[in-house]
Amino acid sequence: MAKALREPKDTSAQAIARLREAGLRPTRQRVELAGVLFQSGDRHVTAESLHDEVAQTGVKVSLATVYNTLHQFTEAGLLRQVIVDAARSYFDTNTGDHQHFFVEKEGLLIDIPGESIAVAGVPAPPAGLSVDRVDVVVRVRRN
Amino acid sequence: MAKALREPKDTSAQAIARLREAGLRPTRQRVELAGVLFQSGDRHVTAESLHDEVAQTGVKVSLATVYNTLHQFTEAGLLRQVIVDAARSYFDTNTGDHQHFFVEKEGLLIDIPGESIAVAGVPAPPAGLSVDRVDVVVRVRRN
DNA sequence: CTCACAGTTTAGAATGGTTCTAATTCGTTG
DNA sequence: CAACGAATTAGAACCATTCTAAACTGTGAG
């Protein structure tokens, strides 16, 4: 009776709680997606990769819903959108302060902890503008 | 006979020279696009904005050619592609070391000189990967 | 100067990720 | 459990970008 295995019920319960806190109605699809996204540690997904992944668990969620959900989760602060590729959008379950390595050829994102990296010397933005956030993308390639 | 005005002939000559140096055949379209792009100082364009701009000078260049040319110029090192927006690609005539402010709502890019900004603490990339370049995007919004 | 050919341009079709639409289904509250 | 607003969905629509195949144009040879 120590820490329970990650049974479906358990995972769902956590997902439902998370959704409720975020003010999102816990529908079957959202619970399922939240389960996949937040079960393991930090993850980076695209709409399509998530759609495929969920499909493989046997649950049916339309691509439109995946897109809707990804955006809702982002608005709710559960996800963060990462723009590194002109071709597709990535979503990151790590919403804290951090940056990324990006392997373009493979579409692979790797977190860089926020504490380790520092950007100095950012000039004050032109009048009338204020800084929203600073994104650093370290583009890397296979040797 | 001091510095000449920027007459068409003059501009074209410069553009042609630039193209030749880059190993690109100076066609009417490329000369025209290079003229628009490199005449004034640093510029940020999208395929569509450049297409519109050139169209207004009365020259006819197809959108496909604008895309082709933008990519050829980029490969030739005359332009640099800037990825800040999931919706469209920007191209920057400033190919030197520098970063950007980005006003998402307006699709506006503003250069930050490379000397003023410094990124410290970038960890070594995982084995097998090497750093290609580090992009910093300071996302700003209108007050 | 002219020819011929590789390199370019082009209109329009095709692509691919994302968003929209309108109808159906589902959660929640009373 | 009824009923209403919210969510889901299939498929159409969108839009930036790329592709295709045909027409055109620099350029270097002769």
User: Could you report the per-residue pLDDT of A3-41, keeping only the tens digit for each?
Assistant: 444 445 567 899 999 999 999 999 999 999 999 999 988
DSSP-assigned beta bridge partners for residue B32: none
The DSSP element (H or E) to which A63 belongs, if any, is helix A63-75
- Is A88 a residue whose pLDDT tops 80? yes
What residue ranges define each of the domains in chain B, with the CATH number in brackets? 8-82 (1.10.10.10), 96-140 (no CATH)
C1' of D13 to CA of A69 (Å): 21
Q: Is B131 helix (H, G, I), strand (E, B) or coil?
A: strand
Query: Does the beta-carbon distance from A118 to B120 stay under 8 Å?
Result: yes
In whole numbers, what is the pLDDT of chain A averaged over residues? 93
Measured between beta carbons, which residues in chain A are less than 8 angstroms from residue B135?
136-139
- Is A112 a residue whose pLDDT tops 80? yes
| CB-proximal positions of chain C, under 7 Å | 7-12, 16-21, 26-28
Q: How many CB pairs under 8 A join A and B?
A: 117
B90 nearest nt, CA–C1': D16
| CB-proximal positions of chain D, under 7 Å | 6-11, 16-20, 25-27
Nearest to A118 among B88, B121, B123 (CB): B121
User: Could you report the per-residue pLDDT of B29-62, keeping only the tens digit for each?
Assistant: 999 999 999 998 899 999 999 999 999 998 899 9
How does DSSP classify residue B54?
H
C1' of C5 to CA of B74 (Å): 27
Query: Does the beta-carbon distance from A101 to B130 stay under 8 Å?
Result: no
Reported ipTM: 0.90
